[in-house]
Structure 1
Amino acid sequence: MFLDNKNIILLSTGSFNPPTNMHLRMFEIARDHLNRLGLTICGGLISPTHDSYKKKDLAPSLHRCAMIEQALVALPWVKMSDWEVKQNGWTRTRQVLQYHQNHLNMIITSRLNGAIKVDTSLFPVQFIENLNANDSNQNRAVNVRLLCGADLLESFAVPGLWNDEDIEAIVRDYGLVVVSRSGSNPHKFIYESNVLTKYMANIIVVTEWITNEISSTKVRRALSRNESVKFLISELVESYIKEHGLYETLNNKYSNNDILDVNLKTIFLSPSPSNKTFKTDQMDDKKLNIDEPDNLPCTEKRVINCEKTKVRNVAEGKENFTRVAIQVSESGIIEVISDMETMV
C-alpha cells in the first residue's frame, strides 16, 4: 500500500538514555526534508521504552521521561508520550505506532462531530491548536510515521530481533523516515530486503550531510569519567543528570586524576606557556632555558665549553700541548718551528 497522506506526525522510539542533541536534530532534519517534498509535518512524538527493556545502564523511565521533557523545551513542536512506559511491560514498536495512530484518529473524529471527548495531552499543543482553529483541518487524515536512524533499519536483518509480520506492518501501514549517518547505506539495505523493496515507496531516506556521531552511549561514558558533555546534550538535561546522580556522576570511580603517573600526564598535557624551562633527554635531565638562541643545540654548547677549557689550560701551561711558531721569509718561504725543535 502506498501512503499518499501528506499530513504527518513523526514518532521516534528508543531508550533516550539520555536524550541527546542528535535525537532532537533528527526531527529538525526530517521536517526540513519532508517539507521540501511537499509534505506537512504536523508535529512530533518521542516515546521512551519501558523499564523492562533489557539494556545495560538503563536509567529508570521516571528520569528518562523527565530528561526528555527538559530537552524538548528547545523543540516545542515535539511532545513526549509516556504511554509506552506506563504499560505492564515492553511494547513492540508496531503496537506503539498503532496506539498513537488510533488515538490520533479519535481526536480528529471528535473534532468532526463534536460528540466524542478524547484526551489530547499525548500530542503537541501546536497540533491540537491548529485542529481547533482551522475547520478545514478537522476533516484531514494524519499519518503517524516512524522516525529512526539507519541503525534501526539495519536491525531488521538481525535474526530473532524483529517479527517479520511486524516489519511488514510497520513499513506498509505507517512508513519510515530514516535519517542516515556517516558510513551507512540505507538504500543498499533496502535493495537487499524483499519486504523493504516491496514497500520502498513508504520509506523516505534523509541524508545528514553535517556528520554527527553523538550517541547516548558516548555521552554516558563521558559522564562516568567526569568529562564535559557540553553541546552534546541540553544544559537542562545535564543539570538534571548531575542533580540526581545518574550515570555514576556522583559516585565516579573513573574521575580520580591522581591515578595518573606524573610522567604519564606529560604525554597528554601541553606545557604552560609561562614555563621557562623544559626537560630534554639529550641533556641528561638538565634544564635548558628556552630564551637561549635556537641555532645553538645543547650538544654543540657542551663541545664549545669543553674547547674553551682546553684553551685556557694550554695558555696557563696546564696541558702538555706542542707549541708552534710560523715564520715567513722575504723570499716567501714559510717555516713552522715547534717547541719540540722540529722543523716542519
Structure 2
Amino acid sequence: MAMDEPWQPWPMQRLHHALPGAHRERPACVLLTTGAMNPPHKGHAQLLRQARERLEGAGYQVWAAWMSPSHDGYVGPKAISKRTVHLSSKLRLHLAHLLVLGDPFVAVGYWEASKKGSWPDFPQVAEELQRTLKRLVDDQAELMPTLNLLLGESGWPRVFYACGTDHAERCGLYDGFGRFCADVGVVVVPRQDEAPEPERPPEVFVASAAPGEVAGFSSTKIRESFQIAGKDVRGVPDGFREATPQ
C-alpha cells in the first residue's frame, strides 16, 4: 500500500482500497478510537482489530479504522498531574504514522491533535469523522454507489467508537453513543483480566480481549521503560528512542 498523504485530517486510502471487494448486501461501517496515546503503541492498533472481528461476527463489513491521538490541551495537563512525560502532539502523530505505515486497515486521524484552539472531546471527534465521510458519500456515491452501504438509519455514515472498559464505564458508553451522535455505535475491548458489562447490540458490542504479548502493552509502562537507561522499549515503532527527547 502506498504511503498516506502526510497530515491529512482523515486519510481515506484504506477505505477506498476496501471498496472493490465490498459485499453488496452487508451494512458497512468504520472504526475510530481516541486517547492520549502518550506514546502510541501496537495495542492501540490491535484494539481496532479486535473491534473489527466482533463487528464482522455481527454481520458488518468494516472498511477502515482510525486511531486518533488526543490534543495537547488534554494530554499536557494530564501528564503534569501524573508527573510523567508529555510527548507533543506532533511527535505522537509522527510515531502513530510510523506504527501503522503499510497497515491495510488502520490509519492515523490527524484532525483531533491538530485542531486549533480548545481541545475536542471524543464525541466531537466522532462527529467530525462522520461529517467527513458524509461529504465523501455525497460527492462520490454517484460514481461509487457502494459507498451508500456506509449510511445508517439516520442517513449518516455508520461509525463505531472502540474503547477500553475504563473509558466505557467513565463516560457511560455501555448505554450507547446515541446521546452524542446518530449512527455511532460502541465496541468495548477489554483486557484479558477484565469482566466487561454485557453488550447491547446493535448499539454496544463487546469484543474479545487481544491475545498474546500485545495485550500487555500500555503507554504508562512504555514511558516507565523509556526512562530507564538501556531498557528495551517494546510495542512502539522503530525509531521511537531516536525521535523522543532524552
* Corresponding position of 1:242: 241
Q: What is the distance in 2 between the residues matched to 1:223 and 1:181?
A: 23
Is this contact kept in 1: 2:27–2:61, CA < 8 A? yes
* Corresponding position of 2:120: 91
* Corresponding position of 1:78: 106
Q: Is 1:102 aligned to residue 102 of structure 2?
A: no
Q: What is the distance in 2 between the residues matched to 1:110 and 1:16?
A: 33
- The offset of 1:169, in angstroms, is 1.9
Is this contact kept in 1: 2:53–2:207, CA < 8 A? no
The ranges of structure 1 where at least 4 consecutive aligned residues each deviate by more than 6 angstroms after the TM superposition are none
Q: Is 1:219 aligned to residue 222 of structure 2?
A: yes
Q: Does the residue aligned with 2:194 lie in a helix, a strand or coil?
A: coil
- The counterpart of 1:55, out of the listed 53, 78, 91, is 78
* Corresponding position of 1:43: 64
- The counterpart of 1:153, out of the listed 150, 155, 168, is 168
* Corresponding position of 1:294: none
Taking structure 1 as the reference length, the TM-score comes to 0.54
- CA deviation profile, 1:56-88 (whole Å, cap 9, x unmatched): 122110100000000001523222121112221
- CA deviation profile, 1:229-287 (whole Å, cap 9, x unmatched): 23x223x2xx1x322333xxx3xxxxxxxxxxxxxxxxxxxxxxxxxxxxxxxxxxxxx
Instruction: Give the fraction of aligned pairs with identical amino acids, expressed as a percent.
Output: 25
Q: What is the distance in 2 between the residues matched to 1:44 and 1:138?
A: 16
- The offset of 1:166, in angstroms, is 9.9
* Corresponding position of 1:205: 206
- The counterpart of 2:232, out of the listed 213, 228, 233, is 228
Taking structure 2 as the reference length, the TM-score comes to 0.74
Which 5+ residue runs of structure 1 have no aligned equivalent? 114-131, 191-198, 251-344
Is this contact kept in 2: 1:24–1:75, CA < 8 A? no
Q: Which amino acid aligns with 2:148?
A: N
Q: Which amino acid aligns with 1:220?
A: R
- The offset of 1:200, in angstroms, is 5.5
- The counterpart of 1:184, out of the listed 161, 183, 194, is 194
* Corresponding position of 1:137: 146
Closer/same/farther in 2, CA of residues 63 and 86 from structure 1, 3 Å limit? same
Q: What is the distance in 1 between the residues matched to 2:49 and 2:177?
A: 25
Q: What is the distance in 1 between the residues matched to 2:101 and 2:87?
A: 21
Is this contact kept in 1: 2:31–2:159, CA < 8 A? yes
Q: What is the distance in 2 between the residues matched to 1:170 and 1:19?
A: 26
Q: What is the distance in 1 between the residues matched to 2:147 and 2:137?
A: 6
* Corresponding position of 2:53: 32
- The offset of 1:210, in angstroms, is 2.3
Aligned positions, number: 203
* Corresponding position of 1:308: none
Q: Which has the higher contact order (CA 8 A, sep 6+)?
A: 2
Rg larger in structure: 1
Is this contact kept in 1: 2:190–2:207, CA < 8 A? yes
Which 5+ residue runs of structure 2 have no aligned equivalent? 1-25, 80-84, 152-156
Closer/same/farther in 2, CA of residues 171 and 101 from structure 1, 3 Å limit? closer
Q: Does the residue aligned with 1:184 lie in a helix, a strand or coil?
A: coil
